[in-house]
Amino acid sequence: MNVYPLVMAPSFRHGPETPWGGHALKELFGKNSPDEITGESLEVSALPGHESRVVNGEYAGKTLRDLFPLWGKCLTGREENGFPLLLKLLDTRQPLSVQVHPDDSYALSHEGKPGKSEAWYILDAAPGAQLVYGIDTHGQSLRSVLDEGRLESSLCRTEVHAGDVFYIPAGTVHALGSGIRCYEIQQASDLTYRLWDWGRIGKDGKPRPLHIEQALSVSRSGVLPRQTGEPEELPGGRRTLLVSDPHFQLYAYDLDGRMTLPTGKMQFLTATAKGCALCWENHRETLLPWQTAVLPAALPDVSVEGFGRFLISTAV
């Protein structure tokens, strides 16, 4: 079976789907976004209706769902018939809603689908940009805080800068603020319970629906520390494990020439501003800045050439 690195073209969420989005995905990252209110570039996605497509090699034009019957476990490294992760870039012209995601146990029993944990790597942020990362109810129940109108004052806000990393396990109350561009790796689930939407009114004159009871059932109070990691020296550069979740791991690689990557797991490799090149067997594929390639689990030895940082998320 001829497996090879799959360079992906993203799908986009825009317009009414992401009323908080802007135009930085096009201006900063060169994405062919469809309009000036584009919030998400789904770089690696098998979500129905938002599937990214292969742009290189024998399977150019195919989606990841198209490749399941052909590659199966050779692609994902898993026995299950499904794509486990979703990778996207986000641009926030306005704040996202305050939200929370259920864990697998709650989601499977109440929604019939997996839950969602995720992580953010901040790529760019306006001066003073903030996000919501946890909630402090001061010992009271979250329902009491809501009933007394004290939700906004109980949210834990933190200023962000490029290079900051945040781990958002299921149950964490969170929201990206305005003026942030970030990389997000998550379980391949679209389950979101909206706790608060800042009183926004949509173009239809109505507020977006909230999911109070579900959010109360799955939310956890408390504040998590920012994620850091110790760099590991490797031939050709350094690797830092930034986030380790039961479903995925997120690494930053700092490349200085040529580095051989570990194999055996599906990996998403995202080039940052300088781009890079993938080399395997007798082949070479250039990744432009901010392109992502899916490295199948069954791919033989693969190396990366270039200089500067790139990001890798792996399926666990």
SS3 for the chain is CCCCCEEEECEEEEHHHCCCCECHHHHCCCCCCCCCCEEEEEEECEECCEECEECCCCCCCCEHHHHHHHHCHHHHCCCCCCCCEEEEEEEECCCCCEEECCCHHHHHHHCCCCCCCEEEEEEEECCCCEEEEEECCCCCCHHHHHHCCCHHHHEEEEECCCCCEEEECCCECEEECCCEEEEEEEECCCCCEEEECCCCCCCCCCCCCCCHHHHHHHCECECCCCCCCCCEEECCEEEEEEEECCCEEEEEEEEEEEEEECCCCCEEEEECCCCEEEEECCEEEEECCCCEEEECCCCCCEEEEEEEEEEEEEEC
> Is 194 a known active-site residue?
yes
Which residue of the set 13, 93, 181, 194 is catalytic? 194
Residues labelled catalytic? 194
